[in-house]
Structure formats: structure tokens, C-alpha cells
Amino acid sequence: MTLRTRDIELREPAGHGRVRLHFTPSGRDVRVPPGVTVFDAASWNGIAIDSTCGGHGTCRKCLVRIDDGNVPVSSLDIRAFSADQLRKGWRLACRAQATADLRVEVPPLVTRPKAATVGVGRQVILRPAVQKRYVKLDEPTLADQASDLDRLLAALDDLELRVDLEALRLLGRTLRAHDYGVTAVIVDDVLIAVEPGDTTARAFGLAIDLGTTTVVATLLDLVTGTPVAVSSTLNRQQPFGGDVITRISASMMEPTALDQLRSLAHETLDSLAREVSDEADVRLDEIYEVSLAGNATMVHIALGIDPEPLGVAPFIMAARALPEIRAGELGLSVHPGARAVVLPSLGAYVGGDIVAGLLASGMDRDRRLRLFIDVGTNCEIVLGNTDRLVATAAPAGPAFEGAQIRCGMRAADGAIEVVRIIDGALELGVIGDVEPVGLCGSGLVDAVASLVVAGLIDSSGRMVTEERAREIAPGLADRLSAIDGKRVFVLSDGPGGPIYLSQRDVRALQFAKAAIATGWSLLLDELGIGAEAVQQVLLAGSFGSYLSPASAIRIGLVPKLPVLRVVSAGNVAGEGAKMALLSVRERAGALALLHEVEYVELSDRADFNDAFADLLAFPS
Amino acid sequence: MTLRTRDIELREPAGHGRVRLHFTPSGRDVRVPPGVTVFDAASWNGIAIDSTCGGHGTCRKCLVRIDDGNVPVSSLDIRAFSADQLRKGWRLACRAQATADLRVEVPPLVTRPKAATVGVGRQVILRPAVQKRYVKLDEPTLADQASDLDRLLAALDDLELRVDLEALRLLGRTLRAHDYGVTAVIVDDVLIAVEPGDTTARAFGLAIDLGTTTVVATLLDLVTGTPVAVSSTLNRQQPFGGDVITRISASMMEPTALDQLRSLAHETLDSLAREVSDEADVRLDEIYEVSLAGNATMVHIALGIDPEPLGVAPFIMAARALPEIRAGELGLSVHPGARAVVLPSLGAYVGGDIVAGLLASGMDRDRRLRLFIDVGTNCEIVLGNTDRLVATAAPAGPAFEGAQIRCGMRAADGAIEVVRIIDGALELGVIGDVEPVGLCGSGLVDAVASLVVAGLIDSSGRMVTEERAREIAPGLADRLSAIDGKRVFVLSDGPGGPIYLSQRDVRALQFAKAAIATGWSLLLDELGIGAEAVQQVLLAGSFGSYLSPASAIRIGLVPKLPVLRVVSAGNVAGEGAKMALLSVRERAGALALLHEVEYVELSDRADFNDAFADLLAFPS
């Protein structure tokens, strides 16, 4: 997709207004922002309409009939239909903008679409930007001197293609060396290569979740829609700081730091690309497109864009939607003509990773009122449903990453990740089944939640006296002690020394969860609803997905709801990146989110501190 | 301009059919191929219509009223006009395709357009693809967190821009360092750079005529439309051969030759760019666009496209219209974001230089029946007027370049370029006013023409006997002699030895001019007209422009017409390249020519040899 930045601007401003489309014969009702095409609206909701050009208006196959409602005749409709058909309501779905409620008849499909299940149970109709077409051309003669390119394009007449110079350079030789039987490799509307013979069975894409800490790459077979290899690694930018702010600061201190950070990002990405292609026995030059979801800072740095304005008030991005770029701009040694699509960002602190997460969870297409929380140092919160979505970012601080926690550590071997008190006895779950060496974020939340339930931490967050502890939890009271004069609760006392939770750790967690709770409670206010209206809470992100829903409820990180309403959504950023590769429609959906989601800035809200103070305590 | 190759395909096939547009209040009638927009049709004919976006449908300023004839309402018209206005015939001229005769009312201009005279007396309305816009933006605040790019684009809301990643990289820093006062640099629909402060007064383009022998570069001030420096140099590819065929052969012999040839072209172009920018005191990074006119072989090689299929039957180009490329692809160290527009080619032997020439001479817009001849080793011939144009290429051989002529040389110092016989005495014009050292093409044509007139060469091309010579031209008879046993006519006998015309030279010229005459006579047949119908003959190209019209008529290189009808057109390829820089409309006109001109292939014509034999003699 050519990201024409103005595509977005031409739509209505973000807001409440949606139009309703009723599709027959499926009987499905869907709601979309005004201005979305009938084709997109159908595609986003799993209703298949024939098309080979992917919505560029060139294949003229996406025929629908508008039974009720008004859609003006486009200049392409005039070429595709007779006057009588136009009168009867026939239109090309990819040109038909829904500006009011419509009733749309979809004819039976000529070709059976393939679909894949991705994200939070999303059914995605396969239509990657990458297309391969095998063609066998007639040899030129003196009577037919069409240029090689015209000859090739004539065989692809359902598409309107731009052409890369590199593809043109090898075209003549490839045609002549292979009897005019070649495979055109197309990404969106660009011919990027011409390969000898029929290579249509092999086309791959790389979906990347570029996290501040962890980077995950999934190699997708774009023909079948299935992942063929996955790999993850630490972001090599770590030495410059653990979170986005320290990395932005680094780039401000030292003129060469931005270049260094960019190179480290590129090395990280390329090492993953090589790993997954090795593992799946795929050549690097069979990877024709890359999608990348990351927070705004990671994306800016990876593209060599100065991130400084993201780090200082008023927190400004260079761009929300990024221009069409080559994968080489991300340091990836995939096919030289490969493109990269970068998921757009809503704001400096609600980045492409969140947009990907919203896409993967279908937040804007679901009627259920849902609360999406990506837990991390910067916590992103989105609330709403297909009618309206509001979002904010809450500065939770690094407690969940294990930083500034006395025995804190990342979720790696030796980290206590589960803490339970059963029949008055402490049970620990340790990653890698080894001796515990520290406490990771989910363990921290579990530990605090358990102690609150046991009464060893009161609702104000204070550890109770030893006397009181002996009274209410005699089997655990000994663990309440003091180290270096500070009150602690000892979780484990192995050969490496005690692993414990300190009073200060509890405070850090309180501040973090209060920031998050302030975020969602102000969003609830924004929609004018109470917490009980929330039908589902999605815990997302590399930390959120491992969190115990019960513990999250217990400490008040999420609203007090039946525990089954709180679910772990997994790595939704990575899933959204996959969806962008598998479907150009979903990719357009990511752009549409920029207009569907209203961003609520907390940092200048007068009511923030009040709400924060109210939410600091643990729920009783 | 984004060369979407399909732009061309969507039009009607080449042929006779034109539609007529009558413009009011100017009262002008123009004819264009069906499918051309009203905006283009007006612009190509010097009729100005308001526009700031250059025909992309985004500024909504090119309002016209269709008084008579039918133009469907486009989706953009719906946004630009009320229902009542639409009923009254108002349309956006850039979206209104003329598919039948129309009567069009053009409202008075809001802004006065600038125009420049270029080419063969063509008035070009200035509308370069390069645009600079100074904008002063509001500083962002917490209440207005629009991204830097959105903020900039909002100030350019008459345009719908794509954005180069490089422009985005520096955007934030440039805005903040210069109080949000910056100049956007736009080429066609791409934002290529953002410059500090107001630099709108300085914008330059480089027009290149890339000849096989000579390369000419003109630096144009795109604000005023005037040339500020010109320079020419020999093509550094010369060591690989003097003509296109030897260069194609070289690229076939040796795997690295194509790379070497490409590098030599790039060095030639870059040295010229540096020269003209030095001369005019223009920084290289103030050159934002380059246009290039060259024959198909020169263009293929300069872009690194294998030229082999051009050199062997059936003579196939990689592409007629070339993709959007950066100037860096031509080895030019101009602005890193600068684009290059390459004039399209009609055929392997009717290249972009000829398309540029047709543009500069307005062949497709003139009602006069004209014959365009670019004289050279390969000679391109175009015949027709606004109703129909036919073209062909004739293999004239290297005689005009001075090659295979005994005393032949290029048109350089010491070359005899003019030969006249006045009152029985020989007069020579020598380039540089030095002792003659050889005979260039125009001198060769003059010499033969003079001797034919004097009767010393008979109509069959044979030099007369010495007896006969003494009879009819006693003052010149001594010059008819023999050298190395071959008959010659001595033109000069200085210290460096005699400079002479040999019988064999006369034969070489006869073959060359017969090939050309066969070309235009078969084109006359194609149109079913006689030579007397030709109202103007344009002699073009670096050789043709120096040719004496009288001599050209005398030897039969051009039809026998009153001498005033034969004019030298100058370096029309370079003029066409300039026009492409000065006006996006003219550039679109070059693409339209691909469809307006019918190519007639001579190499498989049964009647070629007959016509050739008939035309070998000199006209009596």
C-alpha cells in the first residue's frame, strides 16, 4: 500500500458517527466510520467480495449491488457497468464509499477466498500485498514490437502497476533466457522483480514486533497464510537504556548516538531475519515484504528519525503514518526490492504496537465494550467498541519490568513468576524450574495480591505488624521481617541469599497500578459509563499477557469484574503485524484506526491527581 | 510525475481519431486524442487555467464550464461543486476527459501565469514539477499534538503528497531550529525536502540532451523559466564506439562493459552538472529535478538496463515510458531527493530525443503538415500534423558523422562545414577559421550539392570525365584528379596534405540520403499525399541543424520544395527536455505522443528496396 498520508485526512474527523452496512445474503450488520469503502467494510468483517487487484479499481471484479442507500457513480463504475446496471445499483465495492447507512447485496464468489485465524480469534481473508503471477508471453516479432514491459503489463491487465527500475534492469534478460515464461513479483501496486519460470508457490513475509526490550520476528508463508518460523531476541539497543526515555536521552546527549541506535536496531532485525529464514529453509530473497509494529520511539529510531520531540512536552511525532519504504531502510537483507510497512502510531505514547494490538483484537469491530491494557513502563489503555474508542497512555513506571524493585528481574530463568498462598502456605512458580534468583513483574503482582488477600498488606499498602501477622497468618508471619532496616516479606531464602518483597516495592507497584487505574477510570468517565459496563478486559503486551487476571483484579490494576471477563491477549502487536502482511484490507484498517480512536492526553488533566490519589489504595 | 505506465494504456490506441475542443472566450479550437483531459488540452495549447496542484485533483481550482458536450461528473466534482453547478456543466478541468467534441468556457484567471518561449517558438505556461512553498506553522502544544508531518501537510492542503523518508528524518529538527518557518520542496507529488526559512526564490532544474556523441546540459531557473548556464561535452563512452550499435555490441561482448558504459555516462553527466552549477553560482543541492532526452540505447545504458534487445531484430525496448527514478540513478550529485524524468521512447530507433524534438516543435499540435527529420547515423523521420502523425527510422549510416568518408571528421575546428561554388570559383567555410583539416557532414552535403549543380557530378552520382569537366567548369577542372588510383575532387591542398571528396564518399552520401528519402517517401505514401503537400521541413539534431537547406534539397535529402519551407530546428531534443522541466503538462504531452504517433517499421517492408533504388540518384 502506498501510504498517501492524505488518504487519512480526507476522511471525517475521529468521533462517534458510524454508518451501518447491512450485507445480504449473509445478513451481517457492520458499522464503520463514514467514508470507508464497501469493500473495506466487508473485508474487515470477514465478508468476502471478489477482487484480484486488492481494491485499486483496476480489476473491476468487486461487483456489489446497493439495494438501499445512495452511492454516487464513480468514473470507474461508468467503465464497468451499463447504464441499466448503474440504475439498478451496481457499483464497484472498492470505489463505493459508505457515507450513510446502506444495504448491500454481495454476489456469490467466483473464487473461493482463503482465510487464516490470527490475533484474538480474528478471521482474516488472505490478500497479501505481495502477489506473484506466472505469465507466458508471446515472443516479440517485427510485426509486434511492444516493449518488454508493455508485453508483461498486458498480461497483468487487472493491475495498474508502478515499476521499480531494478525490475526493469533484469526484465529483458530474464524473459529471453527463460522462453518468455516468468513470474512477476508485485508488492501492492509495484512490480519489484521478475523471476525466471514459475515461482508462484514461494512467497514469504516477515512480521516484526519491535519492542523496547524484546524483538520478535515471524516468517509467514504468504501463499498459505501460515507462520513457518518464529524467533525472538533482546533488542541490541539495551546498553543505551532499558526504556524509551533513556534511549531518547541518549540520542540527545551524543550526536552519533542516533546512528548507533539505528544500527543496533538494524542488526537486531537482520539477525532475526537470518535466523527464521535459516530455520524454515527460505532464501532471504524470497521475503518480499516486511511489516513492523513498534512504539513510536522504536520506529523513529529504526528509521533514523530524530526521536527528541517524542521525549519532551508536548510529545510530538514526526508522522503518524509513515511513508512507503524499502525493507533495506530497516537494515534487512531480504529481497532488494522488498517493501516495509510500518504500523502507524496514534500518538507519541500510543504507538504502532498498540495500533497493531487493536487490529489483532478487533477493538473497532466488536460491539462488546472492551478495555485493552498494554501493561509496561508506559502503559497504553484503549476503551470502547465499534461505536466509539478512546485511548490514553499512563506513565506506570518500570516496576512491571522488574526495575526499581529490590529483587526485581526480567522474566527469565530463575524469576519467580507465580506466587500463591494456598492453605496458609506459600507456593512459588519459577521460570525454568531452577532456584529462584529474583522476582519478575507477574510475580510481583501475584505476591502483592496474595499478601493483600492474606491480610498481610492492608488496603493502604502497608505491611501489617508482626503481631498482627502472627494472628491472621501464623504460617507466614516469620517471613515478615526487616532487611537493612526496611520491612520486607521473604519469598525464598536459598543459597544465593533471600528473595523478598520490600515495603518500598509494594509502594512502587501501588503507584504503577494507580497510574493505570487512573487511565481507565478517566476513560470510563469520558464514555460516561461505570466499570461494570466493561464486558471484556484484554491484558496485552509481553508483560500483560503473563499477568494473572485474578491478581490484576485483586490489586485494582483492572476494574473489579468477574475474573472470566479478564483475559490474556498474548503478543497482539506481533499478531497485528502478521495481519498487515496477510491482508491489505487489514492494513488499511490500521490506518482507519488513526481516525477512529480519540486520544485523551492525561498529562494536562486537572482531575488526574484526584483520581490517582483515590486509586492508590488496594480495593477492599 | 509518477509515470504510471498504465496511464498510457488507458487511452485509446494510436490513430486518426481526435476530438475537437472549442475554448471560450479565447475562441481557440484545439484537437487532442480522445481521453486527454480538458486541462491538458488547454495547457498544451497555451490556454491558461488556474491550478496549484498541477492536475492531481487536489487543489480544486481548475474550474471550467462545459457549454456543449458531455463530461461525466467525477467523484472529485461532487466535492467541488453544488448539484446546481454540476447541472450547469461546471467540472474540474483536470478530471474532465474529452471523449467527444466539447465547448469549454474558461473563467478569468485568479493568478497570472508565467510563460516562457522554448523550442520552435513554443509558448510554455510555467508549471514545473518542482514547487517550493514557504510555510510558518503554529508551534505544537499539549492541546494540539498533531505530528510534525500532519502540521506541515495541513499548510499544503491543496496538494496530496507522498513523503520521502529523508525529508521526514530532518523535519522535526528543521522545524524546531527555525521557529517553525520552513520551505517545503515538492517534486510532482512528493515532498523531497524541508529547508530552513524561506528559500522559495531558488529552485533549479537540469535539462540534459544525452547524445551518442555530444551531451548538452542546460541549468534552468525554475522560478523564472530561464536558462542560467549551458555546457556541452563529448560523451565519455566514445572509446566503446562512435554509434549506438558499436556500444550495444560492446555490452554484449564483455560482461563488465555495461557497467563501464553506465559509469562513463554518469561521469559525463555529473561533470556537466558541476560545470553549469559552478558557472551560474548555484549549489548542486538547489537542483531538484533533472530531465533527460536521449535515444533508447543511451537511456537504457545510462539506467543500467541491458541494451542487447535494442540491437538485434526485432529491436525491442525494455520500456517505452520509464519509471519514476531519482537523479542519483544517473550518477548526478544534485539534491539527494532530486528526481529524474526521462523522456519516453516511441521505439528502439525513435527514442526520447525524438519525442523531445516533437514536443519542442509542437508537431502534434500544429495544423500544418510538417516533416521532421533528425539527421544522423540513425535518422528519425516524423510526418504529419495535429490530425495524424507517422514516424519511422532510416538507417542512414555514419556518412553524416564524417565516418567512412575519406577526409571526414566531426564538426570541430578545421572542419570544412560550408562549400559553395560562386562564379565558377570554390569557396570554403572552415570551423574556427583555421587551415582545413577535414570535411564534416554539412560540408560533405554542400560539396556534393555544389558539384551536382556545377555538373561535375552527374545525376547518377558519378564524377564526370576530366574532358567534360574542362568543358563545363574550366576553373574547377584541375581539382578533379585521382589519388591512390581513385577519382577525387580536391577541396583544399594545404601544408597538411590535400582535403578531398572521393567518388566513394559521394556513393556513401547517396546511400545515406536515399535511405532518408525512402523513409519520408514511404511515410508520404502512408498518408496518401505527395511531397508538395509538406508545408514545412524541420531539420533537427546536432547534424541536421547545421545543414544548408538548399543543399539538402539539391541532393534530395528532403523533398523538392521552396527553400523557405526547409528550416533548421536547432537542438530540439534539448529544448524538449527543458519543456519537460518547465511544465508538467508538457511532460504529460510527451507521454501522449506515444499514442499519437504511429510507428512504421521499414526493415520488413517489401517496397523499401524499390523506393530506395528509385531515390539513389540526385534529383534533376
Query: Which of A614, A188, A242 has the alpha carbon at shortest distance from A404?
Result: A242
Do the Cβ atoms of A173 and B306 come within 8 Å?
Answer: yes
- Per-position b or e across B320-357, b if 16+ CB within 10 A of its CB: bbbbbbbbbbbbbbbbebbbbbbbbbbbbbbbbbbbbb
Q: State the count of interchain CB pairs (< 8 A) between A and B.
A: 185
Instruction: Please name the member of B75, B154, B305 whose beta carbon is closest to the beta carbon of A75.
Output: B75
Do the Cβ atoms of B5 and A163 come within 8 Å?
Answer: yes
Instruction: Please name the member of B4, B168, B315 whose beta carbon is closest to the beta carbon of A319.
Output: B168
Neighbours of A467 (CB within 10 A): 8
Query: Who's near B49: CB < 8 A, 6+ residues apart?
Result: B38, B39, B42, B43, B62, B64, B93, B106, B109
Three-state secondary-structure class, residue A614:
helix
Give the minimum alpha-carbon distance from A415 to chain B in angstroms, rounded to a whole number.
40
Comparing alpha-carbon positions, the chain A residue that sits nearest to B95 is: A75
Residue B2's identity, in one-letter code, is T
Does residue B309 have a cis bond before it (omega within 30 degrees)? no
Comparing alpha-carbon positions, the chain A residue that sits nearest to B164 is: A323
Q: What pLDDT was estimated at residue B8?
A: 35
Instruction: Determine the Cα–Cα distance for residues B321 and B184; give it in Å rounded to an integer.
Output: 28
| Mean pLDDT, residues B13-34 taken together | 77
Comparing alpha-carbon positions, the chain B residue that sits nearest to A344 is: B147
Give the sign of the dihedral formed by CA A88, CA A89, CA A92, CA A95.
Answer: positive
Query: Which of B225, B236, B137 has the alpha carbon at shortest distance from B182?
Result: B137
Give the side-chain half-sphere CA count within 13 A for A184. 27
Do the Cβ atoms of B148 and A309 come within 8 Å?
Answer: yes
Q: How does pLDDT run across B452-488, given as a tens digit for each residue?
A: 999 999 999 999 999 999 999 999 999 999 998 899 9
Instruction: Determine the Cα–Cα distance for residues A74 and A58; give it in Å rounded to an integer.
Output: 13
Tell me which range, A567-571, B50-54, B572-576, is most confidently predicted by mean pLDDT.
B572-576
Total residues found in chain A within this entry: 620
Instruction: Please name the member of B165, B176, B317 whose beta carbon is closest to the beta carbon of A323.
Output: B165
Contact (Cβ atoms closer than 8 angstroms) between residue A532 and residue A560: no
The whole-chain average pLDDT of chain B stands at 91
Q: How does pLDDT run across B347-404, given as a tens digit for each residue?
A: 999 999 999 999 999 999 889 999 999 998 889 999 999 999 999 999 888 788 777 8
Comparing alpha-carbon positions, the chain B residue that sits nearest to A165 is: B323
Do the Cβ atoms of A316 and B149 come within 8 Å?
Answer: no
Bridge partner residues of A392 (DSSP): A381
Neighbours of A138 (CB within 10 A): 11
Q: In A, which residues are within 8 Å of B173 by CB distance? A: 306, 308
Instruction: Determine the Cα–Cα distance for residues A220 and B36; give it in Å rounded to an integer.
Output: 44
Q: In B, which residues are within 8 Å of A309 by CB distance? A: 148, 172, 176
Interface test with A, best of B3, B141, B149, B597 (most A CBs within 10 A): B149
Bridge partner residues of B506 (DSSP): none
The pairing of strands B325-326 and A63-68 is unpaired
Total residues found in chain B within this entry: 620
Crossing angle of helices B584-596 and B352-361, rounded to 10°: 110
Q: How does pLDDT run across B95-119, given as a tens digit for each residue?
A: 898 888 999 999 888 777 788 888 8
Q: Locate all alpha helices (DSSP H) within B57-122, ordered by sequence.
A: 75-80, 83-87
Query: Which of A434, A425, A396, A317 has the alpha carbon at shortest distance from B145?
Result: A317
Q: What pLDDT was estimated at residue A11?
A: 36
Q: What percentage of residues in chain B have a pLDDT greater than 70?
A: 97
Q: In B, which residues are within 8 Å of A603 by CB distance? A: 142
Do the Cβ atoms of A306 and B58 come within 8 Å?
Answer: no
Given a cut of 80, whether residue B10 has pLDDT beyond it is no
Do the Cβ atoms of A169 and B306 come within 8 Å?
Answer: yes
Tell me the C-alpha to C-alpha distance, in Å, between residue B264 and each of A477, B212, B258.
85, 12, 10
Query: Who's near B20: CB < 8 A, 6+ residues apart?
Result: B29, B30, B31, B101, B102
Burial (0-12, 13-18, 19+ Cβ within 10 Å), A68:
exposed
Burial (0-12, 13-18, 19+ Cβ within 10 Å), A337:
buried
Contact (Cβ atoms closer than 8 angstroms) between residue A217 and residue A269: yes
Q: Which residues of chain A have pLDDT under 70?
A: 1-17
Query: Who's near A526: CB < 8 A, 6+ residues apart?
Result: A383, A390, A598, A600
User: Can you read off the three cell numbers belonging to residue B353?
Assistant: 530525443
Instruction: Determine the Cα–Cα distance for residues A462 and A452; give it in Å rounded to an integer.
Output: 10
Bridge partner residues of B23 (DSSP): B28, B104
Give the sign of the dihedral formed by CA B501, CA B507, CA B508, CA B509.
Answer: positive
Neighbours of B117 (CB within 10 A): 10
Do the Cβ atoms of B319 and A5 come within 8 Å?
Answer: no
**Of B84-93, B138-147, B394-403, B517-526, which gets the smallest average pLDDT?**
B394-403
Contact (Cβ atoms closer than 8 angstroms) between residue A583 and residue A520: no
Q: What pLDDT was estimated at residue B12?
A: 38
| Residue A271 DSSP one-character state | H
Instruction: Please name the member of B74, B170, B318 whose beta carbon is closest to the beta carbon of A171.
Output: B318
Instruction: Determine the Cα–Cα distance for residues B353 and B46; give it in Å rounded to an integer.
Output: 23
Q: What pLDDT was estimated at residue B9?
A: 34
Do the Cβ atoms of A318 and B78 come within 8 Å?
Answer: no
The ipTM assigned to this model is: 0.87
Q: What pLDDT was estimated at residue A99?
A: 86
Confidence of residue B411 (pLDDT cuts 50, 70, 90): confident
Instruction: Determine the Cα–Cα distance for residues B70 and B518; give it in Å rounded to an integer.
Output: 44
The beta strand positions in A507-603, using DSSP E, are 536-540, 566-570, 597-599
Give the minimum alpha-carbon distance from B142 to chain A in angstroms, rounded to a whole number.
5
Given a cut of 50, whether residue B557 has pLDDT beyond it is yes
Q: What pLDDT was estimated at residue A199?
A: 98
Q: Look-up: residue for cell 467498541?
A: A385
Give the sign of the dihedral formed by CA B4, CA B10, CA B13, CA B15.
Answer: negative
Q: In B, which residues are within 8 Å of A9 by CB distance? A: 150, 153-154
Query: Which of B586, B585, B578, B538 has the alpha carbon at shortest distance from B559?
Result: B538
Q: In B, which residues are within 8 Å of A308 by CB distance? A: 172-173
Contact (Cβ atoms closer than 8 angstroms) between residue A237 and residue A211: no
Q: How does pLDDT run across B175-234, given as a tens digit for each residue?
A: 999 999 999 999 999 999 999 999 999 999 999 999 998 899 999 999 999 999 999 999
Interface test with B, best of A2, A6, A151, A342 (most B CBs within 10 A): A6
Q: What pLDDT was estimated at residue B46?
A: 75
Burial (0-12, 13-18, 19+ Cβ within 10 Å), A569:
buried
Q: What pLDDT was estimated at residue A9?
A: 34
Do the Cβ atoms of A323 and B348 come within 8 Å?
Answer: no
Question: What's the alpha-carbon Rg for chain B, to the nearest Å?
Answer: 27
Instruction: Please name the member of A4, A142, A322 whose beta carbon is closest to the beta carbon of B604.
Output: A142
Q: In B, which residues are within 8 Å of A305 by CB distance? A: 168-169, 172
Q: What pLDDT was estimated at residue B405?
A: 87
Instruction: Determine the Cα–Cα distance for residues B94 and B53; give it in Å rounded to an integer.
Output: 10
Instruction: Determine the Cα–Cα distance for residues B510 and B614; give it in Å rounded to an integer.
Output: 12
Query: Which of B227, B336, B353 has the alpha carbon at shortest distance from B302?
Result: B353
Which helix (H) or strand (E) segment holds residue A374: the answer is strand A370-374
Q: What is the DSSP string of B307-330?
A: -HHHHSTT---S-SSPPPEEGGGG
Neighbours of A483 (CB within 10 A): 13
Q: What pLDDT was estimated at residue A17?
A: 65
